[in-house]
Amino acid sequence: MSKLWKCISLLLLSGCVTAQTLPSHDEVDASVDLAMLSAIRSEELNHSKVMDHAGWIADVFGPRVTGSENLDRAGQWAQEQMKSWGLVNVHEERFSFGKGWSLQHFDASIMEPNYQPLIGFPKSFTPGTKGRITAEVVRVQVNSEEDFAKYHGKLQGKIIVLQPVREVKMLEGIVVQRWTPELLKEAESTPLVGPAAGGSAGAARAAIFDANAQAFFIKEGVVAELDRGVDASMVHGDNQLSWMTQRTDGGTVFVQAGGPFESAKAGDVLPQVTLAVEHYNRILRIMEKGIPVKVELNIATSFRDEAPGHENGFNVIGEIPGTDLANEVVMVGAHLDSHQSATGATDNAAGVAAMMEAMRILQAVGAKPRRTIRIALWGGEEEGELGSQAYIRSHFYNTATHAALLEYKTLSAYYNLDNGTGRIRGVWIQGNFAAQPIFRSWFPMLKDLGVNAIAPRSVAGSDYSSFDDVGLPGFQFMQDRLEYNSRTHHSNMDTVDRLQRDDLTQMAIVAATFAYNTAMRQAMIPRKVFVPEPRKEASTR
Ligand SMILES: [Zn+2]
């Protein structure tokens, strides 16, 4: 039995890998506490609770739309867990969000020309049907407001569909994606052309048109709208990288919001359901043959008003207090909220579970970090990183006056997880080249766990952006995407079944290592020169 094999077989029995694979002190930064890093690994490899956390958050509390009772319960549970591990300053910080939304009931079926139950899901922030309804489906084609007139008086009591048939391509692409050497090489280079500019003016015009169309349809007496989700496969050009994953169809539905959540406007839209593309297409193909289609719907949803002192948005906070540098802070975080069509397991119970587990491990091994390590579980991420932005405004930076608050100077770094259940392979450093040698100096002790990439480019799309936007060092870990792009992101199949235990275990070890090293080093993580500029919109969430 070779030494390597001996170690691997011992690893299966115990945590022996820690002593065997960690580099010697002369290979790494002298401030790194190898004994503590070994203890972190050993605790996680032998006593991991990461799947248990994820199971509570996703299976037990269910879909966690911001402002829902499910999210409140998950937040309460997270605080109880943190307190039970001895974290201090455990509390929630509420922020004004708008109306909360929950789904109470849904079913949908084709009734004529023959019966078929439909796979679909109501869009969040849309109203219900006020009981069971059966109505004829009508195809409506409106490209501009002039088109409204031709439907005046013709839509009373109808269910409408706006999109044409979408061709379903046979699944021949990649469904499960890990970082390949080629993709890593691409990510580690800097693109010399930024993301395509513009789009926001076009998006704003489209939003106004959509709102006017909804108002017209409601006035005309339309009872519901069916769609088949967005056309985009989302998978190419994500982070400007050539991901080759293909989105799965076959009963997987990608569903997001269908209406505003601001208190004054919430609910002023049609009941809306996104159907599996194959079922949507069948309805249209029958209608194209001149045969009427009748669909039965029963949707019940509820909106929750904000109460003074109990606003619908909240973040959960907990801390491991620092010692000689306790006034300085290292933050880790992930968003606790989710979309509604599944249990938000990979987006983002996975990230929350790994970050909570990192805190649990650090407590379990008796870590005494020099700086305070703080965890934040964000709300409102899916509606535009609203929780982390509220936190920035109340603790670090007044975005209205562009004035730094007192705590601005005290944050060393914020680390975020929000790319699903895949293991961590490196860090997007947001163009902060001064951070690069520091992270690289930690890689020797993480190399055997597959962590060794630095991607220089700035990415956007989750809560680290809120920090980066105001000049604070906020970083997103680079994760293996696995089925995130193809199957689980914002879909009805984002369930605990898709979580990968070994990857989550690795994520917890790496997050704890980064947090601890950041808390122990002599200096804080260096910052970029900060030039205030408007928020960038892209997607790595
Ligand atoms: Zn997310």
Query: What separation in Å is there between the alpha carbon of 281 and the centre of ligand 1?
Result: 29
AA identity, residue 189: S
pLDDT digits (tens, 9 = 90+) for 82-125: 999 999 999 999 999 999 999 999 999 999 999 999 999 999 99
Closest C-alpha to 240, from 184, 182, 194: 194
Query: What separation in Å is there between the alpha carbon of 326 and the centre of ligand 1?
Result: 30
pLDDT digits (tens, 9 = 90+) for 396-408: 999 999 999 999 9
Q: Facing residues of 295 across strands? A: 110, 135
Complete domains list, the chain, with CATH: 47-97+308-520 (3.40.630.10), 100-304 (3.50.30.30)
pLDDT-derived band at 14 (thresholds 50, 70, 90) equals very low
Query: What separation in Å is there between the alpha carbon of 419 and the centre of ligand 1?
Result: 7
Query: What separation in Å is there between the alpha carbon of 267 and the centre of ligand 1?
Result: 24
Query: What separation in Å is there between the alpha carbon of 403 and the centre of ligand 1?
Result: 29
Helices 69-84 and 350-364 cross at an angle (nearest 10°) of 20
Query: What separation in Å is there between the alpha carbon of 339 and the centre of ligand 1?
Result: 9
Query: What separation in Å is there between the alpha carbon of 216 and the centre of ligand 1?
Result: 33
Gap between the Cα atoms of 259 and 213, Å rounded: 12
Query: What separation in Å is there between the alpha carbon of 489 and the centre of ligand 1?
Result: 8
Query: What separation in Å is there between the alpha carbon of 346 and the centre of ligand 1?
Result: 8
Query: What separation in Å is there between the alpha carbon of 345 and the centre of ligand 1?
Result: 10
Percentage of the chain surpassing pLDDT 70? 89
Query: What separation in Å is there between the alpha carbon of 408 and the centre of ligand 1?
Result: 25
Provide the 3-class DSSP secondary structure of residue 471: coil
Query: What separation in Å is there between the alpha carbon of 347 and the centre of ligand 1?
Result: 4
Query: What separation in Å is there between the alpha carbon of 481 and the centre of ligand 1?
Result: 12
Query: What separation in Å is there between the alpha carbon of 504 and the centre of ligand 1?
Result: 16
Gap between the Cα atoms of 357 and 48, Å rounded: 8
Query: What separation in Å is there between the alpha carbon of 348 and the centre of ligand 1?
Result: 5
pLDDT digits (tens, 9 = 90+) for 365-390: 999 999 999 999 999 999 999 999 99
Closest C-alpha to 332, from 512, 201, 190: 512
pLDDT digits (tens, 9 = 90+) for 437-450: 999 999 999 999 99
In 2-99, beta strands by DSSP E: 88-95
Contact 447, 439 (CB under 8 A): no
